Amino acid sequence: MCKRQAVYKIRAFIAILAVSFLTAIPSAVLGTNFGISNDLNGLWATTTKDTADAPVIVYQEGNEIRMMCTFDYQGKKVTWHSSGTITGNIVKTRFHITTNTKPGDWEADGTHDLTLSPDGRHLAGIGKSQSGFSYTIQFKRIK
């Protein structure tokens, strides 16, 4: 074997070791997945007290996230949608409650700052209206 072939074999071996090492360590241990976002596409549901079990459709393309939810609240149908990004396990979106379904004392616009659980089955964080009112919000993956 010539010197060049030996160098290539050593480089290939090191590359295989590096990939094996990085894929063997769960992202929960590392705290990040090196910028490769998790796949959130699918059906989710809220687990927040006032809107528990409301269906949420999540659409993800690359690092862009879209969410839509419709639920009953005090006898009225409420619909909101949001858009934003996912980076690692952090989801940041801006939401809008459609004005013809918004309860009278709710603000139509705000943000959701969420963290994806290590197992990829739960999102939890803070919702905040434009005026600064904040509340906890949680979601669970259905499928």
Name which residue leads in pLDDT, 113 or 132.
113
Distance CA 132, CA 62 (A): 30
Tens of pLDDT, residues 52-65: 788 899 999 999 99
Beta strand 42-46 pairing with 134-141:
antiparallel
d(CA 117, CA 87): 13
Least confident of 30-34, 41-45, 82-86: 30-34
Just give the CATH number of 42-141.
Answer: 2.40.128.20
Residue 104, phi then psi, degrees to nearest 5? -55, -35
Q: Where are the domains of the chain?
A: 1-30, 42-141
- What is the predicted pLDDT for the residue at 2? 59
Please give the biggest Cα pair distance in the chain: 79
Nearest to 139 by CA among 71, 64, 63: 71
